[in-house]
């Protein structure tokens, strides 16, 4: 269907009735009464329980699996292993995917599935798991990405050769998936112009997305080969197509219905249980429900990349940054997929730099495959970049916001990766930060302040949706993107605004994969933007049709009808004297005109406006214990246009607290045996309510010219500078800036001692 967004761009003169308000979310009612149906809340008649047997070893050859004894346990209906999955060549996308779902030749991390059981009860399934005999040949393992790059590191895949590598080692087996170089100008020349140069090596540990909802799914494989799959996912169509690829089931036979999503943050973009439950259901001839435990979530689902960044940066006395050189290492799991090229593209994109060199490496390791998390791979590197800018600002005696303003990019900037920016709001965001209460307030005694800035591209991509007008004049929207935090409501608001009806007359629901065409993963802060464009386009199609119907009712030419404020009226008195027809009036008569009215839209959406944020944080560091307390936190960010300001604030605040967790405590702690030591909420230490203050927000609105309401994505940006801002604050508190995440008490206490020894922090 053609796109009819006649004026797709932003209209600065438009006055809004609904956009910019924060009505109660329609999906909220079921969430406060316990009726909302999340993945684990589904039950089917005759449903079995599925459980997974996982490798206790981080790296081993899978020599033999014997399920004979296990299959004798009363109540066990099916057991599956690698033999139940079609062979797909190693080193291909499909080959990687099937091996992530179920180990084949080797196990690659502690927690890698090696078998799964479906039984009539969880007890029976667990009993069977214990009776499955697995013979492993344990191999040396490697988890740290820098160690994995060393010449004597254990090799995960004999077939792996570094993409983009040059030189004599290019043909040797390696753990380095890819070497990626990106840059502009002449870095050596740039450093020659520098008055001050700083450099450092920064490292970050894997951390988990930490969604509270455990992954769960129910699969029903019917006798005619139709698969019905209910699950929590950010990517129903992606799951479907991957199931098609690894299970060789036609897409038309796989119908995925997404449940309410109990948090994802990128972590529910990759499937884990889904292929197992489908194969178990096929074998058992019953529906199978599988739910991960929290320990399984921690051991076997996507923590983010651990990283190491070595960055050198130089500036002139006036604050102009003249050169940046960096070497970046990104840990992935056993296979590629970290999206690491985001980092060299985004790490400096907000500053107008002439000389940049980046070399980035993606490295496999014996831990679960990396899964996305808010701005994948970017916050880790921003931790270093914004730290060094802070050091430069201190050295030249410049205010940290002024330093950034000095280098800030504006409309027309051509990025290092080739995109030229339309209207952007970085300068406005920095100015708003400078003017906000927090920044103007003196730093309280005993505390220290840090600031940092971040950027995310924001995304568009393939999106489809439908809108239907009911005979009573109410509207339903079928969305292909997932609702990760309230997008159904934002869509309803945009539809209501466009159609001129109250938002309560619109309801949005989440489609299954049979109801709409392909939708790209709900990630990268693309949803409100992309589905928003689909919704506006669909609404405008409905409006066109409404005008056509009004013309038919009045028996006038179509161009004689205009739509304004929710009603069709004659374009002028020349057309005739007619009482305006409301949406409801026309909807009620569709049986007598040309049948029901609907709008549908599908696009590969482009024009996502980039987003920028400034974080300001005040911390207090206990200099005897190294404990950091966050006392005040403000996020200033350009949202383009906040459709629902309360929801935008919620995105900022949630990201800030995730950032506080990542900055201060969250990390994967591995033992020397390659096993995760802290696979639960108790020892993983996500922030609790008493760990954090209120999070203040300033929403800057520099409209995105490519969206009818001017909006920009807001989900990823607010995580990007968080750890850097906190690191800068701690650095100011103790005299030396930490360069390793998490900035946990033992590390900070060691730095305090070093600072005292170096005389940069007074004793006592």
Partner 1 sequence: MSDVRFEAPSSLSEAVKILAGAKGPSRALAGGTDLIVQMENDLLEPDLIVDIKKIPELRAIKPEGGGFRIGATVTSMEMIEDASLCAKWPGVIDGVKLIGSIQVKGRATMAGNLCNASPGADSVPPLVAAGALARIVGPNGTRESPVEKIPVGPGKTSLAPGEIIESFFLPERPRNSGDAYLRFTPRTEMDIAVVGVAINLTLDSAGVCTQARVALGAVAPTVLLVDECANALIGTRVDEAAIDKMAAAAAAACKPIDDKRGTREFRIKITSVLAKRVAQKALERARHTA
Partner 2 sequence: MSKKHHITTIVNGDEYEALCETRHTLLDVLRDELRLTGTKEGCATGDCGACSVMMDGRLVCSCLVLAVEADGKSIDTIEGMASGNELHPLQTKFLELNGLQCGICTPGFLIAARALLERNPDPTESEARYWLAGNLCRCTGYDKIIRAVLSAAAEMRGA
The distance of closest approach from Cβ of residue 645 to partner 2 in the complex, given in angstroms and rounded to an integer, is: 9
For partner 2, the closer of residues 678 and 740 by Cβ is: 678
Structure tokens at 26: 């329609």
The distance of closest approach from Cβ of residue 308 to partner 2 in the complex, given in angstroms and rounded to an integer, is: 26
CA–CA separation, 647 and 489 (whole Å)? 10
Which residue in 144, 178, 203, 213 binds partner 2 (CB under 8 A)? Answer: 213
End-to-end Cα separation, the chain, in angstroms: 72
Total residues interacting with partner 2, rule: CB under 8 A: 59
Does 653 sit near partner 2 (CB under 8 A)? yes
**Partner from partner 2, partner 1, none binding residue 657, C-beta < 5-8 Å depending on class:** partner 2
Does 573 sit near partner 1 (CB under 8 A)? no
Structure tokens at 217: 């799914």
For partner 1, the closer of residues 126 and 161 by Cβ is: 126
The distance of closest approach from Cβ of residue 211 to partner 2 in the complex, given in angstroms and rounded to an integer, is: 6
Q: Find out whether 216 and 288 touch, Cβ atoms under 8 Å.
A: no
| DSSP one-letter string for 177-200 | EEEEEEEES-HHHHHHT-SEEEEE
User: Stretches 123-131, 230-238, 260-268, 334-342: which one binds partner 1 (CB under 8 A)?
Assistant: 123-131
Which residue in 582, 745, 754, 756 binds partner 1 (CB under 8 A)? Answer: 745
- Applying the rule CB under 8 A, the residues between 319 and 348 that interact with partner 2 are none
Which residue in 212, 435, 594, 750 binds partner 2 (CB under 8 A)? Answer: 212
**Partner from partner 1, partner 2, none binding residue 214, C-beta < 5-8 Å depending on class:** partner 2
CA–CA separation, 286 and 280 (whole Å)? 8
- Applying the rule CB under 8 A, the residues between 693 and 752 that interact with partner 2 are 694-695
Ramachandran quadrant class, 602 (left: phi over 0; alpha: psi -120 to 50; beta: rest):
beta
User: Stretches 145-153, 386-394, 502-510, 641-649: which one binds partner 2 (CB under 8 A)?
Assistant: 641-649
Does 55 sit near partner 1 (CB under 8 A)? no
CA–CA separation, 573 and 592 (whole Å)? 26
- Applying the rule CB under 8 A, the residues between 281 and 310 that interact with partner 2 are 291, 293-294
- Applying the rule CB under 8 A, the residues between 202 and 261 that interact with partner 1 are none
Structure tokens at 224: 């005619």
Does 690 sit near partner 1 (CB under 8 A)? yes
Total residues interacting with partner 1, rule: CB under 8 A: 27
CA–CA separation, 700 and 21 (whole Å)? 15
CA–CA separation, 333 and 275 (whole Å)? 19
Does 45 sit near partner 2 (CB under 8 A)? no
Structure tokens at 502: 């109250």
Distances, alpha carbon 430 to alpha carbons 435, 638, 655, in Å: 9, 10, 19
State how beta strands 106-107 and 356-363 pair: unpaired
- Applying the rule CB under 8 A, the residues between 619 and 638 that interact with partner 1 are 624-625, 627
User: Stretches 219-227, 467-475, 605-613, 688-696: which one binds partner 1 (CB under 8 A)?
Assistant: 688-696
The distance of closest approach from Cβ of residue 335 to partner 2 in the complex, given in angstroms and rounded to an integer, is: 26
The distance of closest approach from Cβ of residue 148 to partner 1 in the complex, given in angstroms and rounded to an integer, is: 22
**Partner from partner 1, partner 2, none binding residue 639, C-beta < 5-8 Å depending on class:** none
Does 32 sit near partner 1 (CB under 8 A)? no
CA–CA separation, 518 and 53 (whole Å)? 33
Which residue in 118, 477, 749, 761 binds partner 1 (CB under 8 A)? Answer: 749
Does 664 sit near partner 2 (CB under 8 A)? no
CA–CA separation, 396 and 233 (whole Å)? 48
Cis peptide bond prior to 337, omega within 30° of 0: no
State how beta strands 611-622 and 475-479 pair: unpaired
Q: Which distant-in-sequence residues (6+ apart) come within 8 Å of 509 by Cβ?
A: 476, 477, 478, 479, 488
Distances, alpha carbon 698 to alpha carbons 290, 458, 639, in Å: 42, 19, 10
CA–CA separation, 758 and 483 (whole Å)? 51
Which residue in 49, 101, 664, 722 binds partner 1 (CB under 8 A)? Answer: 664
State how beta strands 48-54 and 76-80 pair: unpaired
Q: Find out whether 264 and 209 touch, Cβ atoms under 8 Å.
A: yes
Does 764 sit near partner 1 (CB under 8 A)? no
Q: Which distant-in-sequence residues (6+ apart) come within 8 Å of 28 by Cβ?
A: none
What is the SS3 assignment for 619-673? EEEECCCCEEEEEEEEEEEECCCCCCHHHHHHHHHHHHHHHHHHHHCCCCCECCC
Which residue in 35, 64, 440, 445 binds partner 2 (CB under 8 A)? Answer: 35
What number of CA atoms fall less than 13 Å from residue 611's CA on the CB side? 35
For partner 1, the closer of residues 291 and 338 by Cβ is: 291
For partner 1, the closer of residues 594 and 688 by Cβ is: 688
The distance of closest approach from Cβ of residue 518 to partner 2 in the complex, given in angstroms and rounded to an integer, is: 24
Question: Is residue 720 exposed (0-12), middle (13-18) or buried (19+ Cβ within 10 Å)?
Answer: buried
CA 343, 344, 350 angle in degrees (round to 5)?
A: 90
Structure tokens at 681: 């909420």
**Partner from partner 2, partner 1, none binding residue 553, C-beta < 5-8 Å depending on class:** none
**Partner from partner 2, partner 1, none binding residue 763, C-beta < 5-8 Å depending on class:** none
- Applying the rule CB under 8 A, the residues between 269 and 298 that interact with partner 1 are 293, 295
For partner 2, the closer of residues 578 and 681 by Cβ is: 681
For partner 2, the closer of residues 213 and 362 by Cβ is: 213
**Partner from partner 1, partner 2, none binding residue 625, C-beta < 5-8 Å depending on class:** partner 1
Which residue in 66, 199, 428, 691 binds partner 1 (CB under 8 A)? Answer: 691
Does 548 sit near partner 2 (CB under 8 A)? no
CA–CA separation, 297 and 291 (whole Å)? 10
Does 71 sit near partner 1 (CB under 8 A)? no
**Partner from partner 2, partner 1, none binding residue 24, C-beta < 5-8 Å depending on class:** partner 2
The distance of closest approach from Cβ of residue 263 to partner 1 in the complex, given in angstroms and rounded to an integer, is: 18
The distance of closest approach from Cβ of residue 666 to partner 1 in the complex, given in angstroms and rounded to an integer, is: 10
**Partner from partner 1, partner 2, none binding residue 664, C-beta < 5-8 Å depending on class:** partner 1
Does 687 sit near partner 1 (CB under 8 A)? yes
Sign of CA dihedral 25, 31, 35, 39: positive
Does 262 sit near partner 2 (CB under 8 A)? yes
User: What does the CA dihedral 327, 333, 335, 337 come to, rounded to 10 degrees?
Assistant: -60
Does 618 sit near partner 2 (CB under 8 A)? no
**Partner from partner 2, partner 1, none binding residue 41, C-beta < 5-8 Å depending on class:** partner 2
The distance of closest approach from Cβ of residue 747 to partner 1 in the complex, given in angstroms and rounded to an integer, is: 9
CA 581, 582, 586 angle in degrees (round to 5)?
A: 75
Does 647 sit near partner 2 (CB under 8 A)? yes
Which residue in 310, 598, 678, 740 binds partner 1 (CB under 8 A)? Answer: 678
CA–CA separation, 625 and 231 (whole Å)? 44
**Partner from partner 2, partner 1, none binding residue 665, C-beta < 5-8 Å depending on class:** partner 1
CA–CA separation, 433 and 401 (whole Å)? 8
Query: What does the binding site for partner 2 look like in residue numbers (CB under 8 A)?
Result: 22, 24-25, 27-38, 40-41, 43, 123, 209-214, 260-265, 291, 293-294, 484-486, 646-647, 649-650, 653-658, 680-682, 686-692, 694-695
Query: What does the binding site for partner 1 look like in residue numbers (CB under 8 A)?
Result: 74, 121, 123-124, 126, 293, 295, 624-625, 627, 664-665, 669, 677-678, 681-683, 685, 687-688, 690-691, 744-746, 749
């Amino acid at each position: 269907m053609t796109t009819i967004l006649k004026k797709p761009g932003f209209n600065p003169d438009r006055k809004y009735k609904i956009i910019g308000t924060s009505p109660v979310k329609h999906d909220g009612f079921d969430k406060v009464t316990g009726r909302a149906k999340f993945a684990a809340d589904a039950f089917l008649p005759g449903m079995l329980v599925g459980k997974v047997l996982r490798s206790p070893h981080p790296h081993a050859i899978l020599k033999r699996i014997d399920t004979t004894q296990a299959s004798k346990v009363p109540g066990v209906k099916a057991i599956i292993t690698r033999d139940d999955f079609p062979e797909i060549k190693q080193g291909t996308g499909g080959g990687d995917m099937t091996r992530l779902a179920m180990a084949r030749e080797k196990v690659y991390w502690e927690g890698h599935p090696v078998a799964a059981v479906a039984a009539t009860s969880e007890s029976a399934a667990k009993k069977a798991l214990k009776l499955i005999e697995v013979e492993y040949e344990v191999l040396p393992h490697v988890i740290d990405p820098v160690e994995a790059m060393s010449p004597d590191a254990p090799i995960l895949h004999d077939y792996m050769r570094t993409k983009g590598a040059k030189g004599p080692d290019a043909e040797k087996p390696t753990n380095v998936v890819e070497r990626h170089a990106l840059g502009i100008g002449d870095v050596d020349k740039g450093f020659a112009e520098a008055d001050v140069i700083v450099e450092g090596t920064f490292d970050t540990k894997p951390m988990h997305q930490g969604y509270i909802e455990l992954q769960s799914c129910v699969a029903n494989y019917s006798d005619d080969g139709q698969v019905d799959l209910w699950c929590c996912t950010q990517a129903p169509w992606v799951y479907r197509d991957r199931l098609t690829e690894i299970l060789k089931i036609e897409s038309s036979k796989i119908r995925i219905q997404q449940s309410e999503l109990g948090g994802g943050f990128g972590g529910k973009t990759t499937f884990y249980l889904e292929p197992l439950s489908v194969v178990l259901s096929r074998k058992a001839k019953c529906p199978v429900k599988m739910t991960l435990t929290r320990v399984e979530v921690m051991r076997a689902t996507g923590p983010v990349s651990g990283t190491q960044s070595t960055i050198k940066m130089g500036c002139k006395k006036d604050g102009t940054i003249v050169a940046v050189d960096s070497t970046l290492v990104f840990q992935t799991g056993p296979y590629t997929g970290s999206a690491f090229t985001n980092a060299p593209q985004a790490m400096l994109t907000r500053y107008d730099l002439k000389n940049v060199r980046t070399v980035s490496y993606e490295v496999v390791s014996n831990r679960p495959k990396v899964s996305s998390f808010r701005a994948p791979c970017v916050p880790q590197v921003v931790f270093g970049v914004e730290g060094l800018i802070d050091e430069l600002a201190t050295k030249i005696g410049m205010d940290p916001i002024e330093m950034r303003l000095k280098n800030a990019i504006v409309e027309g900037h051509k990025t290092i990766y080739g995109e030229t920016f339309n209207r952007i709001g970085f300068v406005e965001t920095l100015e708003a930060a400078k003017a906000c209460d927090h920044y103007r307030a003196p730093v309280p005694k005993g505390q220290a302040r840090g600031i940092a800035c971040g950027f995310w591209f924001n995304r568009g991509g393939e999106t489809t949706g439908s809108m239907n007008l009911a005979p009573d004049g109410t509207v339903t929207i079928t969305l292909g993107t997932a609702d990760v935090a309230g997008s159904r409501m934002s869509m309803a608001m945009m539809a209501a605004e466009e159609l001129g009806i109250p938002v309560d007359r619109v309801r949005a629901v989440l489609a299954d994969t049979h109801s709409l065409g392909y939708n790209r993963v709900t990630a990268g802060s693309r949803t409100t933007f992309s589905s928003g464009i689909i919704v506006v386009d669909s609404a405008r199609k409905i409006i066109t049709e409404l005008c056509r119907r009004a013309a038919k009712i009045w028996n006038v030419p179509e161009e004689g009808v205009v739509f304004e404020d929710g009603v069709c009226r004659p374009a002028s008195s020349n057309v005739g004297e007619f009482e305006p027809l409301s949406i409801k009036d026309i909807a009620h008569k569709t049986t007598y005109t040309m049948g029901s009215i609907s709008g549908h839209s599908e696009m590969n959406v482009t024009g996502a406006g980039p987003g920028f944020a400034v974080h300001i944080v005040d911390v207090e560091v206990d200099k005897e214990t190294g404990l950091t307390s966050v006392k005040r936190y403000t996020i200033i960010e350009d949202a383009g246009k906040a459709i629902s300001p309360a929801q935008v604030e919620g995105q900022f605040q949630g990201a800030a607290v995730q950032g506080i967790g990542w900055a201060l405590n969250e990390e994967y702690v591995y033992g020397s045996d390659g096993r995760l030591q802290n696979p639960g909420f108790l020892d993983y230490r996500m922030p609790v309510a008493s760990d954090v203050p209120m999070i203040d927000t300033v929403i800057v609105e520099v409209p995105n010219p490519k969206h009818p309401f001017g909006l920009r994505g807001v989900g990823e940006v607010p995580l990007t500078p968080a750890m850097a801002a906190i690191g800068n604050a701690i650095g100011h508190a103790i005299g030396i800036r930490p360069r390793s995440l998490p900035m946990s008490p033992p590390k900070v206490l060691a730095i305090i001692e070093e600072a005292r020894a170096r005389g940069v922090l007074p004793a006592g």
